[in-house]
Amino acid sequence: MTDREIYYFTGKCLALEEHPEFKDQVIACVKSEMIDWHQFVSLCSDHLVLPAIYLKFRAYDILDHLPEDLSSHLQEVYALNVSRNTQILKQLHEIISVLNPHKIYPVFLKGSANLLDGLYADIGERILGDIDFLVSDDEYLKSARLMKDAGYAEAYDTPDYKDIKTFKHYPRLYHPGYGATIEIHRIPVDEEFTGWFNNELIELEKQSVEDLPGSYVPSAKHKLIHNFIHGQLSNQGHLFGRLSLRGAYDLYLLSKKFPLERALTEIKPRQKAIAYFALVRRVFGLDLAFFPKRNRAYRVLYTKHALNLSSVLFYNAHRSTLFLGERIFKGYLGQIFQAFYSEEKRTYLNRRIFNRKWYGDHLRLYLKFFAKNK
């Protein structure tokens, strides 16, 4: 199978309950040795969906048809994730015990919110990265101080040319006794999107967590919107033609809680959201049952996504061109232009261009980016 075929094969595996007849196709592929299982595992690892794949294969009695070492590997990864997520749940209780006495009641976001909210059928289904939670602007720095007093420390030094008070979230904090780092948000998304998705909006529909009193999660609708913003806008999935299978799987599960079309009413870049929802539908083999719309933005996104999967040359050239264009025109030149009429932007630039560490950090950024080329 090609990279593209493996990718779409994985998508259909993640949605096996929607088309159980696909089980026979999976087994037939195993028997015919059509699948390069190293390639499959590598893709699933990159997209952080191995535990979810294990659970799908287990639910549909596919594990016994797999090579024994593959079945054992999937089970081992799943078991490790169960253990890790069990520790994360304990960590969430610890966070609440630190913040609640000071009348701070966080709203957990993204993966940890879905875990607390029972979105997943199994505690080990989702690989979690950071623990993200939202507090008010007034509670932002205080929450960080309280977590530091409880034994957390910054995972990396913050450059002195940056102002923590203006960050979307506080620099990552880690605790030697826990496996997950935490990110304390003062706003849920990048500043440019807070005009239509912000703390006040989440506050209106936030839901208390039954098993963790003193904490909240966003409504299913707001989780859907946040999923789109995080993957397609903040992480520039729409621009680069990328689709995270973990993010897509979360969207698929959330769509069972709240209709995608109704979520569109609160999304400002509506056409990009339609494109995202439609591409997830296609990758998961759900046809029109999942989301019945397509548009020009979808055709552009799908074309870029398909070319990324099919051509290493396109992937590297497209990715590099966009990265450099964003940095040069929107980043450097755009900020210099804004500095002519904004004192705040002039201060922002002065703190950077006269700081030697800024140049070193940017060099490392470029080296890291181009090292990721296929």
Q: What is the mean pLDDT of residues 58-83?
A: 95
Flag the least confident range among 21-25, 93-97, 138-142, 269-273.
Answer: 21-25
Residue 222's pLDDT is 98
pLDDT digits (tens, 9 = 90+) for 187-245: 999 999 999 999 999 999 999 999 999 999 999 999 999 999 999 999 999 999 999 99
Q: What is the dihedral of CA 108, 109, 115, 119, to 10 degrees?
A: 120
φ/ψ of residue 355, rounded to 5: -115, 115
- The reported pLDDT for the residue numbered 374 is 58
Angle (CA) 288 281 249, round 5°: 140
Share of the chain above pLDDT 90, in %: 75
**90 φ, ψ (degrees, to nearest 5):** -65, -40
Q: Where are the beta strands (DSSP E) in the chain?
A: 107-109, 131-134, 153-154, 173-174, 182-185, 207-208, 216-217
Reported as a single tens digit per residue, the pLDDT across 180-192 is 999 999 999 999 9
Helices 270-283, 245-255: inter-axial angle, 10-degree rounding: 100
Please compute the mean of the pLDDT values over residues 123-150 and round it to a whole number: 97
3-state secondary structure of 232: helix
Q: Note the pLDDT of residue 25.
A: 87
Residues 6+ apart with CB under 8 A from 111: 126, 127, 128, 129, 132, 250
Per-residue model confidence (pLDDT) at position 279: 96
Query: For the segment 251-278, what is each residue's pLDDT rounded down to a tens digit?
Result: 999 999 999 999 999 999 999 999 999 9
Strand partners, 109: 132
User: Model-level pTM greater than 0.95?
Assistant: no
Q: In whole angstroms, what is the distance from residue 20 CA to residue 248 CA?
A: 19
Q: How many residues does the chain have?
A: 374
Higher pLDDT, 86 or 342: 86
Q: Quick check: 240 and 5 in contact, CB under 8 A?
A: no
Strands of the sheet containing 173-174, edge to edge, are 153-154, 173-174, 182-185, 131-134, 107-109, 216-217, 207-208
On the question of pLDDT at 113 being above 80, the answer is: yes
Q: What is the CA radius of gyration of the chain?
A: 22
Q: Which residue has the tokens 């181009």?
A: 370
- For the chain, the 3-state helix, strand and coil shares in percent, each to the nearest 5, are 65, 5, 30
The pLDDT score that the predictor gives to residue 361 is: 81
pLDDT band for 133, please (50, 70, 90 cuts). very high
